[in-house]
Amino acid sequence: MKCLFALTLSLCLLSRVTVMAQAPNQMNYQAIARNNAGIPLVNQNIKLRLSIHQGSPLGATQYSETRTVTTNNLGLFSVAIGSGGASDVSGSVQSTNWGDGEKFLKVEMDPEGGNAFTDMGSSPLLSVPYALSSADNQWRADGNNISNKNNGSVGIGTNNPDGSALLDLSSDSKGLLTPRMNAAQRTSLSNPATGLLVYQTESPKGFYYNRGTAGSPDWIMLGGTGPQGPQGPTGQAGIIQSYYEAGTAPYPSSTMAFITKPVRVTIQEGQSVFLTASRALGGYFAANELGIKPVCQNIEPGSPIIELNLGMFGLQVPANTRITFSVNGVFKDLPAGTYDFAMGGVTTSPNWINSEWGYTSILVY
């Protein structure tokens, strides 16, 4: 408790200042008003002007308010600085930067309840008010944003966050959810920072990051199979990634479909895919009217088969004979996504039922 003597008013204020530890951004101020004989001023309306100053009692005013209070039968009064009911308010307790230097509380009073204020003195706000912005938890609200200027690491689910990480999340039962949006929402983000990461919820689904700039975004899907192409006009050539599948596949039918075991691969925008596929096809009876092409299909349900017009048509074999047929071609300008690549076939003959395994190879570059 601190006693402040105001000689001009012959009053003594026994005062106590505390701060609420939760979000209300208010400070409790409590005092007893007495006359110069030490007798409390009981049940009396008084008026206070309370202000918070930066750096010194005469420093810049960070917050100021005026309010009328009534003492009780002991001369005691209490106010919550920053709460409702104040008048002539300037600034706000919430916007005060508590982590920036010392703060001083200045108390002025008119015991008659008017506006003839007398300075009752100033006191430094020490450790208690800094619960609003403590040294080890320097969170600040700025409009719709919150920030923390702590230079250490933040740990969630761990008491020992890794020193190399700004944020260390630890759990064996939960994951991390990044912002989720469709392609139109992703590409319409305003000034996306370099390295910004989001998850796209529609085809081609996946994580995308901006490797460009805020003014010129360049969205890349993470996990796209195959490495980058040439790195700039004079960069080194990108590495070619190869994939291979072998196995059984359906016999040719009247509907264009895969007739070699397909290779499934995820590509990024701008990548090309070279396909070569072969299969020994034949019948126990003479078979004819077979058409084969390089084909691919996005794995999203309802996606059509995409055909390259580089195949062969009208193929035929004698009875009890197999012939190895092959196709190859390059798929360019496919949208980013995950696709199956293979040889496609279609026929009007039901006799193509004497066939071996199919083989499919692709190069992504």
Q: pLDDT-based confidence at 137, cuts 50/70/90?
A: low
pLDDT value at position 180?
94
CATH classification of the domain holding 48: 2.60.40
Q: Are residues 33 and 115 in the same domain?
A: yes
Residue 239: per-residue pLDDT: 53
Distances (CA, A) of 318 to 14, 287, 350, 351: 113, 7, 14, 10
Amino acid at 122: S
Confidence label for 275 from pLDDT (cuts 50, 70 and 90): very high
Bridge partners (DSSP) listed for residue 359: 246, 278
How many whole angstroms separate alpha carbon 278 and alpha carbon 361?
9
User: pLDDT digit string (tens) for 284-331?
Assistant: 999 999 999 999 999 999 999 999 988 888 999 999 999 999 999 999
- For residue 168, being part of any structural domain is answered with no
User: What's the average model confidence in pLDDT over 225-247?
Assistant: 58
Each residue of 80-125: pLDDT tens digit? 998 989 999 999 887 887 777 889 999 998 888 899 998 888 988 8
- pLDDT score for 346: 95
Note the residue count of the chain. 365
Higher pLDDT, 20 or 332: 332
Do 83 and 29 belong together in one domain?
Answer: yes
Q: Do residues 269 and 201 share a domain?
A: no
**Does one domain contain both 110 and 184?**
no
Contact predicate 79/48, CB 8 Å: yes
Containing H/E element for 87?
strand 87-91
Q: Are residues 216 and 249 in the same domain?
A: no
Choice among 137-146, 163-172, 344-353 with the minimum mean pLDDT: 137-146
Q: Which domain covers residue 296, as residue numbers?
A: 241-364
Global pTM value: 0.42
> Is the residue at 164 inside a domain?
no
The answer to whether 281 and 252 have CB atoms below 8 angstroms apart is: yes
Structure tokens at 227: 């490495």
pLDDT band at 236 (very low <50, low <70, confident <90, very high): very low
Q: Are 212 and 193 in contact (CB under 8 A)?
A: no
- CB neighbours of 124 closer than 8 A, spacing ≥ 6? 102, 103, 104, 105
In DSSP terms, 297 is beta-bridged to: 305, 340
Q: Are strands 358-364 and 263-267 parallel, antiparallel or unpaired?
A: unpaired
Q: Does residue 321 belong to any structural domain of this protein?
A: yes
Looking at this protein, which amino acid is placed at residue 120? M
pLDDT band per the 50, 70, 90 thresholds, residue 179: very high
